[in-house]
Amino acid sequence: MNKQLRKAIIAGNWKMNKTPAEAKVLLEQVAPLVKDADCQVIACVPFVDLQTALEATKGTNVKIGAENCHWEESGAYTGEISAKMLTSMGVEYVVLGHSERRQYFGETDETVNKRTKAAIAAGLKPIVCVGELLWERECNITEEVIARQIKLDLFGVTAEELKNVVIAYEPVWAIGTGKTATADQAEEVCGFIRATLAKLYSQADADAVTIQYGGSMNDGNADELLSKENVDGGLIGGASLVAEKFAAIVKAASK
Ligand code: 13P
Residue 85, amino acid = M
Binding site membership of 233 for ligand 1 (Cβ less than 6 Å): no
The SS3 of residue 101 is helix
pLDDT, one tens digit per residue, over 2-12 is 788 898 999 99
For a mutational test of ligand 1's pocket, the pick from 101, 103, 235, i.e. the residue with the most ligand atoms closer than 8 A to its C-beta, is: 235
The SS3 of residue 226 is helix
For a mutational test of ligand 1's pocket, the pick from 15, 93, 128, 172, i.e. the residue with the most ligand atoms closer than 8 A to its C-beta, is: 15
Query: What is the Å distance from ligand 1's center to 178 Cα?
Result: 9
pLDDT, one tens digit per residue, over 143-166 is 999 999 999 999 999 999 999 999
Residue 187, amino acid = E
pTM to 2 decimal places: 0.97
Q: Identify the pLDDT of residue 179.
A: 85
Q: Which residues pair with 235 in a beta bridge?
A: 11, 214
- In contact, 227 and 204? CB cutoff 8 Å: no
pLDDT, one tens digit per residue, over 187-206 is 999 999 999 999 999 999 99
Decide if pLDDT at 1 tops 80: no
Binding site membership of 217 for ligand 1 (Cβ less than 6 Å): yes
Tally of helices (H runs) and strands (E runs) in the chain: 12, 8
Question: Active-site residue 80, yes or no?
Answer: no
Q: Identify the pLDDT of residue 7.
A: 85
Q: Identify the pLDDT of residue 5.
A: 83
Binding site membership of 214 for ligand 1 (Cβ less than 6 Å): yes
pLDDT, one tens digit per residue, over 35-90 is 999 999 999 999 999 999 999 999 999 999 999 999 999 999 999 999 999 999 99
For a mutational test of ligand 1's pocket, the pick from 175, 179, 219, 246, i.e. the residue with the most ligand atoms closer than 8 A to its C-beta, is: 175
b (16+ CB within 10 A) / e for 186-217: bbbbbbbbbebbeebbeeebbbbbbbbbbbbb
Question: Active-site residue 98, yes or no?
Answer: yes
- In contact, 12 and 49? CB cutoff 8 Å: no
Residue 111, amino acid = T
Ligand 1 atom index nearest CA of 100 = 8
Listed in sequence order, the residues at least 6 apart from 26 whose beta carbon sits closer than 8 Å to its beta carbon are 18, 241, 243
Binding site membership of 83 for ligand 1 (Cβ less than 6 Å): no
Q: Identify the pLDDT of residue 104.
A: 97
